[in-house]
Copies of this chain bind each other. A is one copy, B any other.
């Protein structure tokens, strides 16, 4: 490979995840991540503002996939079914990356700072989902309710999917979690 190396961003994210998992988030420096990825520290900071963000670089494409899934849904679906269409698109995107997702979950769970950032990212995802539903033609209150509930479904499904002994595909877990939401909100 020549001096120009493709996909520095992807290699940095991967190197960060491996180092955080092996030696801990707090003990890992940006210099180590850059070395591992074969780039300079300056390149790291061209891609990520800080060490935490190296773990959340995929959120942009997650958000894009979710909102595109809703935009591509057939018109006239019930809002919760539009959410389901978006989550199915996400499952198709993430579905093959279970080992990566498990490792990432382990790293996040081990660090309060990362758990907080994860909460923020999920809240941003909920806001993007609500906006996509409004674009789909759903009124604001319904969009907010369906989006918050939808992110709950996503969280539960991701939580199960990344458990070490779970073998069901993400798409199935999303469908189960959605069915569970319907049962929960139907009440007594």
Contact = CB atoms under 8 A, between A and B. Distances in A.
Nearest to A183: B142
Contact of A160 (B141, B180, B184): B141
The interface residues of chain A, by DSSP majority, are classed as: helix
Interface stretch (A11-19, A56-64, A119-127): A119-127
A158 to B, nearest CB: 11
A181 B149 contact: yes
Interface string A146-188: 1111011101100110000000000000000100111011111
A156 B141 contact: yes
What is the copy number of this chain in the assembly? 2
Nearest to A124: B119
Nearest to A185: B185
Given A119-B127, A149-B148, A142 B180 contact: yes
Given A78-B184, A119-B123, A185-B186, 12 more contacts: A80-B184, A116-B120, A122-B123, A123-B123, A142-B184, A144-B152, A145-B180, A146-B185, A148-B148, A181-B185, A182-B187, A185-B185
Interface of A: 77-81, 116, 119-120, 122-124, 127, 141-142, 144-149, 151-153, 155-156, 159-160, 177, 180-182, 184-188
